[in-house]
Amino acid sequence: MKKDLIDHSHRPSKLLLLLESRAVYDAAAMVPMLGLKRFLPQGDMHPVLVLPGFLTSSYSTRPLRKYLAGIGYRAHRWKLGYNMGYSFKLHYGIRDRISELADRYGKKVSLVGWSLGGVYARELAREMPNIVRQVVTMGSPFRGHPSSSNIQGIFNMFSEVPYEEMPASFLQHMAHPPPVPTTALYSRGDGVVAWQSTVELSSRYDVENIHVGGAHLGLGFNPRVLVALADRLAQPEGQWRPFKPSFWMKPLFYNWYPDWLVHGEENPLGDCRI
Residue 203: burial class (beta carbons within 10 Å; 0-12, 13-18, 19+): exposed
Relative orientation angle of helices 88-105 and 116-127, to the nearest 10 degrees: 60
- pLDDT tens-place string over residues 50-99: 999 999 999 999 999 999 999 999 999 999 999 999 999 999 999 999 99
Question: 61-67: which pairs have CB atoms within 8 A and are 24 or more residues apart?
Answer: 61/114, 61/220, 63/27, 63/30, 63/220, 63/221, 64/112, 64/114, 64/220, 64/221, 64/226, 67/30, 67/33, 67/34, 67/37, 67/226
264, pLDDT greater than 60 = no
Percent of the chain surpassing pLDDT 70: 95
Q: For CA atoms 241, 243, 248, 249, give the dihedral sign.
A: positive
Name which residue leads in pLDDT, 141 or 246. 141
pTM over 0.85: yes
50 HSE (CA, 13 A, CB side)? 26
According to the model, what pLDDT value does residue 83 have?
96
Kindly report the CA angle at 11 between 9 and 12, in degrees rounded to 5? Answer: 115
**Domain annotation for the chain: domains and CATH numbers:** 14-262 (3.40.50.1820)
Torsion of CA 103, 104, 110, 112, to 10 degrees: -120
Q: Summarize the confidence of residues 263-272 as an average pLDDT.
A: 48
Nearest by Cα to 193 from 5, 23, 16, 2: 16
Q: What is the pLDDT of residues 100-132, one digit of tens each?
A: 999 999 999 999 999 999 999 999 999 999 999
Distance from C-alpha of 111 to C-alpha of 126, rounded to nearest angstrom = 12
Confidence grade of residue 273 (pLDDT, cut at 50, 70, 90): very low
Note the pLDDT of residue 164: 78
Distance CA 153, CA 192 (A): 12
On whether the CB atoms of residues 149 and 178 are closer than 8 A, the answer is no
Mean of pLDDT values over 153-157: 90
**201-218 per-position pLDDT tens digit:** 999 999 999 999 999 999
Q: How far apart are the first and last CA of the chain?
A: 27
